[in-house]
Structure 1
Amino acid sequence: MRFEHSAPVRAAFPGLVAGVLVATGITPDVSAGPRVAAFTGQARTRLSAGSEAGFPEIQAWRRAFAAMGVKPTQYRCAAEALLRRLRIDGNLPRLHPLVDLCNAVSVAYAVPVAALDLDRITGDLTVRHAHGDEEYLTFAGGVERPEPGEIVFADAAGRAHARRWTNRQSGWSAVRAETSRVLVVVEGLHSTADADVTDLLDTLRTEVAVLWSPPAAHALLTGARPAFEVPSVALPPQEVRRSPPAPGGGSRERSRPASR
């Protein structure tokens, strides 16, 4: 399985930086509370100086949503929606230890983080413009069709695993109690996204290793390295293989849980 952003998406948003991580052996019976509290506390500290709407990370996503023809105050990116909820309600919902961790790290960095059940994804997963015939399963069990041109996470079976890019994750691949293998996706568009996404990815790797086991694979994706090959079998971190360089010099590595 490969995860990547399509060439048209990359062309439209050349500043996009993404981090991906594969975690295995995920279970719901761990205590993530102290770590969730620590990251949420970081977000509260930042919010005390001003609302999330003024954060450069959020402003970059608002510009992207406007460029997609989506009203950014009607459909907020995942990180903004979580930060807004934290500011108004004072806390975030508890859903699953991994989801709670991803949400807490997301608000700490003001960067969208999504966790998807790998066993619920068919074939390659591509962030691309929708054709309009994809199926999106809501958390209520209804089926929607994304608007043509809308940016979605689409798999080989024609399922949309997220709508409006980082706005709404599908109920189909959301992390649940029986989830064992997870693909975590982190995406930034702001000017310091390269450093921030790298730092966030390192943070998640550390936290997942403490609570479960070291991630099976991870990678930072940019225009020069746009794809990530998900290992079919979990490998110890020192044995994660990387595919040969892609044409053009790049290499291929390959919520509402998580924050979608």
Structure 2
Amino acid sequence: MRVRSSGPRFKKESARPSIHPLVDLCNAVSIAYAIPIAVFDLDHVDGNLTVRHANGTETYATFSGDTEHPEPGDVIYADDANKARARRWTNRQSALSAIRQTTTRVLIVSEAMHDTGTQDVAALKAGLTEALGRYWHIPA
């Protein structure tokens, strides 16, 4: 796995708290490649998940328990119940989409919009696939 600069956000903390083994792995890969990764719990998504611009009526559950409404035009991942599962692309995931010990289905998303994003996401995908294969049996 190629390691890139992790940026100032991750230099502030020497050790990240464990959240869930899959989330911990994706966080480590995200930091290594300096590309955001979101892991959505599909067991709790109402209907389909759509990437779109917010209109401001969507609800977004914070991890502190508050409910917010994304700003109109913000890029969100919304389900059929008009719940924003992530906002600011994947940079702010909702508490509603958080992985739990009971999670059985996930969607892993990475995004990069910089000049070498296509190549970098391909490398991230290969690294994540290899790491997942080491720790979990992934059905074909």
Instruction: Tell me if TM exceeds 0.5.
Output: yes
CA distance in 1, matches of 2:65, 2:74: 21
**Structure 1 residue 120 corresponds to structure 2 residue 40:** no
How far did residue 157 of structure 1 move?
1.1
Per the normalisation by structure 2, the TM-score is 0.90
Letter in 2 for 1:139: F
Residue 156 (structure 1) aligned with residue 80 (structure 2): yes
Aligned with 2:46: secondary structure?
Answer: coil
1:136-155 superposed matches below 5 A? 136-155=60-79
Match of 1:208 in 2: 132
| CA distance in 2 between partners of 1:118 and 1:89 (Å) | 30
Deviation (angstroms), 1:183: 0.4
Establish whether residue 129 from structure 1 lines up as the match of residue 53 from structure 2: yes
Q: How far, CA to CA, are the matches of 1:162 and 1:150 in structure 2? A: 10
> Secondary structure of 2:12's match?
helix
Residue in 2 that maps onto 1:169:
93
Question: Root-mean-square deviation (CA), in Å?
Answer: 1.8
Query: In 2, Cα distance between the equivalents of 1:100 and 1:148?
Result: 31
Give the distance between the partners of 2:127 and 2:104, measured in 1 at CA.
20
Rg larger in 1 or in 2? 1
In the alignment, which residue of structure 2 is the partner of 1:96?
20
Cα offset, 1:151, TM superposition: 1.2
| Runs (5+) with no aligned partner, structure 2 | none
Question: How high is the TM-score relative to the length of structure 1?
Answer: 0.51
What percentage of residue pairs aligned between the two structures are identical?
49
For residues 90 and 98 of structure 1, what CA distance do their matches in structure 2 show? 20
Higher relative contact order (CA 8 A, sep 6+): 1
Aligned residues: 140
Alignment partners' CA distance in 1, 2:123 and 2:53:
28
Residue 167 of structure 1: CA displacement?
2.5
User: CA separation in 1, counterparts of 2:109 and 2:26?
Assistant: 10
